[in-house]
């Protein structure tokens, strides 16, 4: 079973957001969609990437109705292992620093995408859940060459249908 709709794990004051998507596209095609700025520009927002561990990434998300300086995410690339793992810091003015990780696994003729965003507070992770889901829907539309879903509309639909969050306390 995949976590297509997202799952939140909360330990104390830290949260991790998880998504798993089975995509009917080869790993190399999914890798290009998440790491090539020309592709990311279409589903995520204007992006620049230095494609190596220690390089940098900057993205100005296209979806949220916020000023560009609030949507700007910057970070250092922590893992660059084409076409399997892309991990980078997530530094954005509206949220605490975190780390985003994309893992790609062959799944027959397709790809299993495992996405995580760790380091968030529980309230911010809850808000990011619907937004991340909307961005991943846009990624799938890009891969399928389908019309791009409207991020804000998709976010509102998802935020209204968000399930409860399981809590796991540290002992």
List the pLDDT tens digit at each of the 171 positions of the chain: 457 778 999 888 889 999 999 999 999 999 999 999 999 999 999 999 999 999 999 999 998 888 889 999 999 999 999 999 999 999 999 999 999 999 999 999 999 999 999 999 988 888 899 999 999 999 999 999 999 999 999 999 988 764 444 434 332
Q: Say what angle helices 27-35 and 122-144 make with each other, to 10 degrees.
A: 120
Sheet containing 45-49: give its strands across: 7-11, 14-23, 110-120, 95-107, 85-92, 72-81, 56-61, 45-49
Q: Say if pTM beats, i.e. exceeds, 0.85.
A: yes
Residues in the chain: 171
């Amino acid at each position: 079973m995949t976590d297509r709709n997202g799952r939140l794990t909360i330990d104390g004051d830290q949260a991790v957001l998880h998504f798993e998507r089975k995509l009917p596209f080869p790993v190399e095609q999914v890798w290009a969609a998440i790491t090539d700025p020309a592709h990311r520009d279409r589903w995520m927002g204007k992006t620049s990437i230095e494609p190596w561990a220690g390089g940098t990434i900057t993205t100005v998300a296209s979806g949220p109705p916020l000023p560009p300086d609030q949507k700007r995410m910057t970070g250092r690339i922590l893992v660059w292992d084409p076409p399997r793992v892309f991990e980078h810091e997530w530094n954005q003015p509206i949220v605490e620093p975190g780390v985003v990780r994309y893992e790609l696994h062959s799944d027959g003729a397709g790809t299993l995408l495992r996405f995580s965003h760790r380091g968030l507070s529980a309230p911010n992770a809850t808000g990011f859940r619907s937004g991340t889901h909307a961005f991943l829907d846009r990624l799938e539309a890009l891969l399928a060459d389908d019309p791009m879903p409207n991020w804000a509309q998709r976010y509102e639909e998802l935020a209204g249908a968000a399930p409860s969050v399981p809590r796991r306390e540290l002992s």
